[in-house]
Amino acid sequence: MNKMSFAAYENIRLDKFLLGELDDITRSQIKLLIEGGNVAVNERTATKAGYALRAGEIVDVVIPPIEELSLEGEDIPLDVVYEDADLAVINKPKGMVVHPAKGSPNGTLVNALIYRFRTLSDVNGSVRPGIVHRLDKDTSGLIVVAKNNFAHANLASQIADRSAGRVYVALLDGIVKQDEGRIETFIGRHTGDRLKMAVLKEGKEAVTLYRVLERYDRYTLTECELKTGRTHQIRVHAKHINHPVTGDALYGGSTKVYGGGQLLTAVRLTFKHPRTGEEMRFEIEVPEYFKSVIDRLRG
């Protein structure tokens, strides 16, 4: 990895400073560098792109080596819920990685999209064509894909200003006493485990609304609405209130009734069509593997 150091100017945003100092880099790539823990200010890992630099501060940037990834289309079946010239809504199965990365070079949603669709947006670079937002590997459900940069920018803006709606169903460990609630914290990369996120004072704002659907013996079925989109947000917030997502071993969830990953699925997606402004709403039922657990708990 290449490490670069720069002396900071007075009262300038960190991301704007880096945009001016680094060659051939975009704001989205700078954001990824910061989120990945690759930027430090005075030897402390930076967590906020909007941090106001002060005169004399030293900014260190670690540029990860470029990995050659084969982005070939693969004939992987896709459950296409909706499609038009600007976008597509996909029901992603559990176990599918959204985009290629180290350890998952192929067999991803992106590989399937490249094969299926003629064009995809490239706002997030060549490794993430069409990807506006993400779902974890073992989180199933609805995800919107942009076929061009116009649609991508519009959809991303709706997610950023919270006008787009993303609702999940999650089975949580234990009995959640309140019928509904709001979890509002700051989330950042876990300081001791780079695979995890955590509630941190220096993290980014994260807001999740939840509503109890059913209660069972030792478990609670909930509906969770994202108001922000932090990595692992629902999983981290569930752990934060001491009711981790069932099956989520990474965050301490019980694997007694299900050991195949977190019981979390994106069931509803709402947004305005980027070109027509029409209100779009998509809703699905929880998948069969999730239903089978619910049936056992009801019984």
What one-character DSSP code corresponds to residue 245? Answer: B
How many CB atoms are located within 10 Å of the residue 3 CB? Answer: 10
Enumerate the β-bridge partners of residue 199: 187
Helix (H, G, I), strand (E, B) or coil at 106: coil
What one-character DSSP code corresponds to residue 26? Answer: -
Q: Are 99 and 90 in contact (CB under 8 A)?
A: no
**Cα–Cα distance measured from residue 160 to residue 61, given in angstroms and rounded to the nearest whole number:** 26
136 is catalytic: yes
Q: Are 200 and 187 in contact (CB under 8 A)?
A: yes
Pull the structure tokens for residue 260.
């195949």
* Active-site pick, 15, 86, 136, 248: 136
Measured N-to-C along each axis, helices 27-35 and 14-21 cross at an angle, to the nearest 10 degrees, of: 120
How many CB atoms are located within 10 Å of the residue 155 CB? Answer: 24
**Cα–Cα distance measured from residue 92 to residue 96, given in angstroms and rounded to the nearest whole number:** 7
Q: Are 62 and 3 in contact (CB under 8 A)?
A: yes
**Cα–Cα distance measured from residue 208 to residue 227, given in angstroms and rounded to the nearest whole number:** 6
Question: Which helix (DSSP H) or strand (DSSP E) does residue 220 occupy?
Answer: strand 219-226
Which residues are designated catalytic? Answer: 136
